[in-house]
Chain A
């Protein structure tokens, strides 16, 4: 239907796309390129940003002898793998529950969805109270039911701190995932489910065999979004534990920020190299994940 155009409307393209390209180039692409460049140098901030070329030296040091980096990478990966496994099935369960016409569905949806709107520092502060040793709700409940022996400073032990933070992000994001899944469930044509029930399928069969497969594209996208989000985790850790105890909750993002702005190492090259490594890993893993998860995706409606 489109009219053939003799030549490209360069004027219109420039006017419509130009300002965005300029802004994005200046404030995103340029900094990313600088980070790549910096990762091959040592930058002495104390000597007026003196650049010294070191080649791949930073990368060698990070990958072979930086224990903190490996701890941070392990924590970030654990978070990024565990969170979707917990979050998405839970969100699916919540969505299916609300879909089954329960009373006050609107209230439930709002209560579950609100945490994602409150920003990480607010959520972090709230959960500091939940985990507080003396008067936090977690320990109060344990003591009340006679399990006081298990009461502990949840964020002070390297064993419990990371799981405790992962639980916080589950609390924060389950509602978001649920709302998206709920909308996708509503988009399923009702004839599919009616046809199945005419064929004698029970409610749980309709859910498992028909709804879940039809929701697969949405689920895959949510898993990938969740994965990427957790790989980049910064603010919650910064507010709640600062990466402690003993690097038990250090993520790659918090480590980069510490090396760049807090440790006074006066070198921007090294954290830039960590950022580059992590950038490549996130891209590679999310592309791979997309490939694997979307392979069997043939259902269309």
Chain B
């Protein structure tokens, strides 16, 4: 038994090291002066520099892109919740005709490839005059996020004993009141995890953001990073600094709210 435990320990350490190497390289590159990058003699930079971070903060589009990403992801989350929560309640509780067919469509649409919508959507948004705006990304992302969100929330709502709502109805409460005062507080943890998943999906979304944006007015972090200017040679150090800044917000949010996220992931992956 002792030997087995020992083998586990070694394996874990190896896996941990293997997983952390790319992060380490990212951090290392962001603090290394350009002149030293290509010298492969040492693992750590001899004179760590903050130049790359300063360049990104002062001269690049990254601050603007961070603002766009925060705005688009937050508005997407709010709109998706405002629309998805009542819809999930309706699917969970109201006698809707062909309800099972509807739920099937909802589940099936989580397998939609974005490429089936992207070019008509581009033309539609252009016709509406929304090209290169936050609104375009919020609408497209919300529509894409809704199926999973509704599916998760409907599952959470079904777990609530219906008697609580019926008692409120008997006391004369309307449906909206019941949703707001009875259902919402009880599914709050589920709502939090669904909101977190929606936020992360919007934050990381690439194809829509890449296609529907044209300038830094609406380019989000992933697009800004993919288009990072490298006119004569690739500015690896600046890109490293930008990529670290770009991944900080979601990583911090998730580490802070880990419990809710895991709940949402499990619900999403476990239920049929």
**Chain A residues near B (Cβ < 8 Å):** 1-3, 5, 8-9, 12-13, 15-17, 19-21, 23-24, 26-28, 30-32, 34-35, 38, 49, 94, 97, 100, 102, 108, 110-115, 117-122, 124-127, 129-130, 134-135, 137, 140, 171, 175-176, 179-180, 183-184, 187, 217-218, 221-222, 225, 228, 231-232, 234-235, 238-239, 252-253, 256-257, 260-261, 268, 271-272, 275-276, 278-279, 282-283, 286
Bound: A179/B263 CA distance, A: 10
B270 with A256: CB separation less than 8 A: no
Instruction: Tell me the smallest distance from the CB of A62 to a CB of chain B, in Å.
Output: 14
Segment of B19-27, B53-61, B184-192 in the binding face: B19-27
- B9 neighbours in A (Cβ, 8 Å): 102
Residue of A nearest to B4 (CB): A203
Given A34-B120, A257-B118, are A134 and B266 also a contact pair (CB < 8 Å)?
no
A112 with B111: CB separation less than 8 A: no
B200 with A28: CB separation less than 8 A: no
Interface string of B142-172 (1 = CB under 8 A from A): 1110110010000000000011001000000
Interface centre among B114, B115, B226, by most A CB within 10 Å? Answer: B115
Interface string of B132-149 (1 = CB under 8 A from A): 000000011011101100
A279 with B116: CB separation less than 8 A: yes
B117 with A32: CB separation less than 8 A: yes
Q: Which of A97, A120, A129, A130 contacts B222 (CB 8 A)?
A: A120
Given A3-B166, A27-B139, A180-B265, are A234 and B115 also a contact pair (CB < 8 Å)?
yes
A117 with B225: CB separation less than 8 A: no
- Give me 29 A-to-B residue pairs in the complex whose CB atoms sit less than 8 angstroms apart, sorted by A's number: A8-B97, A15-B176, A17-B90, A19-B86, A21-B87, A23-B143, A26-B124, A27-B139, A30-B120, A30-B124, A31-B118, A31-B120, A35-B119, A117-B204, A120-B206, A121-B222, A121-B223, A126-B22, A127-B22, A171-B22, A180-B265, A180-B269, A184-B266, A217-B272, A218-B269, A234-B114, A235-B226, A238-B226, A275-B113
A118 with B251: CB separation less than 8 A: yes
- A27 neighbours in B (Cβ, 8 Å): 117, 121, 124, 139-140, 142-144
A32 with B206: CB separation less than 8 A: no
B95 interfacial contact with A, CB 8 Å = yes
Interface string of B63-104 (1 = CB under 8 A from A): 000000000000000000001101101110011110000000
A260 with B118: CB separation less than 8 A: yes
Instruction: Tell me the smallest distance from the CB of A268 to a CB of chain B, in Å.
Output: 5
A117 with B236: CB separation less than 8 A: no
B115 with A278: CB separation less than 8 A: yes
**Chain B residues near A (Cβ < 8 Å):** 8-9, 11-12, 15-16, 19-23, 25-26, 29, 37-38, 40, 83-84, 86-87, 89-91, 94-97, 108-109, 111-121, 123-124, 139-140, 142-144, 146-147, 150, 162-163, 166, 175-176, 200, 203-204, 206-207, 210-211, 221-223, 225-226, 236, 239-240, 243, 246-247, 250-251, 254-255, 258, 262, 265-266, 269-270, 272
